[in-house]
Amino acid sequence: MRSKQPEARPIFDGCPEKPESKKRGLVFIVSGPSGSGKTTLIKRLLRDKGYKGNLAKIVTCTTREPRGKEKDGRDYIFLSKKEFKGKKEKREFLEWQKVFGEYYGTPLADVKKNILLGRGVILCIDVKGAKALKANKHFRFVRIFILPSQDNWRKTLKTRLKLRLSESQEQIKKRLKLAEQEIASSKDYDYVVVNKDINEATEELVSIVASERKR
């Protein structure tokens, strides 16, 4: 089933820039399969001195259970299915998707708030969410895909997923299957960053963000 996205809504109400303006708010979409290291890379990007206060990662909502040391409000806003549905009906999400049987959604108000404060916004969302936002002309989206490694990505992902000890064998299998489809979509992204070496990948991400902010 295709999810209906709230694109038709005048989501820029109250924002200074109009959709046709060249100065639309800058939104970086970061996607990549589970275990690609996207969360770590984003954390490192936000720690970069040049970006302190100028970039904001949006904490998204999910109906899945917290994993390991995940904290409500920091890693995700953990919601019940009923709470999620309520927000969806009130059109509080910029986009939302069902991933691995659970719901995930980007709170629109947080995106707008940060854009109004002049910040670049980072969304760590899946490939379907990135696709759904293609038709949205209210923001300037820059899409970045994180690949775990150029060759042998399956082995790299499997090892990383096993090491984090938060998924069952069955869940790891599902995530690897989805990874295959997601990697095939990486061609639709503006940039592909290969996370073979975390320092090099961080540098690459920092320079992408720097050059896009200058445009």
Which residues are near ligand 5GP by CB under 6 A? Answer: 34, 60, 64, 95, 97, 99, 104-106, 124-126, 128-129
Nearest residue (CB) to ligand 5GP, 18 versus 102? 102
Which residues on neighbouring strands pair with residue 139, listed in sequence order? 25
- Could you tell me the smallest distance in angstroms from the CB atom of residue 16 to ligand 5GP? 25
Give the H/E segment covering residue 184.
helix 169-184
- Could you tell me the smallest distance in angstroms from the CB atom of residue 129 to ligand 5GP? 2
Give the H/E segment covering residue 191.
strand 191-194
Ramachandran angles phi, psi of 37, nearest 5°: 95, 15
Nearest residue (CB) to ligand 5GP, 53 versus 68? 68
Which residues on neighbouring strands pair with residue 75, listed in sequence order? none
Nearest residue (CB) to ligand 5GP, 126 versus 204? 126
Kindly give the pairing relationship between strand 61-62 and strand 25-31.
unpaired
- Could you tell me the smallest distance in angstroms from the CB atom of residue 18 to ligand 5GP? 25
Kindly give the pairing relationship between strand 102-107 and strand 93-99.
antiparallel
Nearest residue (CB) to ligand 5GP, 59 versus 208? 59
- Could you tell me the smallest distance in angstroms from the CB atom of residue 61 to ligand 5GP? 6
Q: What does DSSP assign to residue 36?
A: S
